[in-house]
Amino acid sequence: MRILIVEDEAALAEALSEILRQNGYLSDTAANGTDGLEFARIGIYDLILLDIMLPGMDGLSVLKALRREKIHTPVILLTARSEVSDIIAGLDAGSDDYLPKPFSTAELLARIRAISRRGGRYLEDSCCFEDLSLQKGSMELSCGSRTIRLGLKEFQLMELFLRNPHQVLPKDLIIGKIWGLDTAADYNNVEVYVSFLRQKLQALGSRASIRTNRGVGYSLEA
């Protein structure tokens, strides 16, 4: 799961990024609203943590622009303001949740989990598809009585497939979500990791498989 942090206070942005990393989330940071909007448009994020008070374009304007452009990535607004009118304005503009600063790490993580669950397929500690289940904490992929431990990138890629079964995931999208924006990773990296996962699915004897959609990308199918 990849999260975009839009926050101009460098210390807070860094702290958020570290908290997310420690809890198994990938993240990128934008330090102002304009960059935040640009990043969000790329479409690689599962969630956006959006500060309201930002230099230049403020958070509410970023949110309104996203929703106007039919970008429905879930947004949690972060703000020092706790005026009821701001909360209402944020929710009306299409935010999914609202977190007044200062907030505790536990509360932030709980809200992220709550939004992740709305997708329906995603559980707190594991994700499943057909006969497969992936455990977040141990990075173990199981099928029936067999279990294999995945490497970090394999785990992240498998999680991406399990969260989006039957959907063709373009290679560019996979690179963005797994390796991030600032990366030298290319299609070869994606192909290598897909082949690792295919070997593991085979070793597990799973009914699920990763299908190549020629010229487009990959999809997880039963």
Q: Which residues here bind Ca ion, judged by CB under 5 A? A: 8, 51, 53
CB 169 within 8 A of CB 218: yes
Q: Shortest Cβ distance from residue 8 to Ca ion (Å)?
A: 5
Nearer to Ca ion, 66 or 77 (CB): 77
Nearer to Ca ion, 53 or 99 (CB): 53
Nearer to Ca ion, 13 or 162 (CB): 13
- The residue of the chain with the least Cβ separation from Ca ion equals 53
Q: Can you give the three-state secondary structure of 182-222, one letter per residue?
A: CCCCCHHHHHHHHHHHHHHHHHHCCCCEEEEECCCEEEEEC
Nearer to Ca ion, 28 or 51 (CB): 51
CB 148 within 8 A of CB 204: yes
Q: For 66-87, give one letter per residue: b (16+ CB within 10 A) or e.
A: beeeebebbbbbbbebeeeebb
Q: Which residues contact 216 (CB under 8 A, 6 or more apart)?
A: 168, 170
Nearer to Ca ion, 48 or 178 (CB): 48
List the 217-221 sheet strands across, edge first: 169-170, 217-221, 209-213
Which residue, among 49, 46, 39, has the nearest Cα to 17 in the 3D structure? 49
Alpha carbons within 13 angstroms on the beta-carbon side of residue 190 total 24
Nearer to Ca ion, 44 or 60 (CB): 60
Tokens 């949110």: give the residue.
63
Which residue, among 222, 178, 37, 206, has the nearest Cα to 169 in the 3D structure? 178
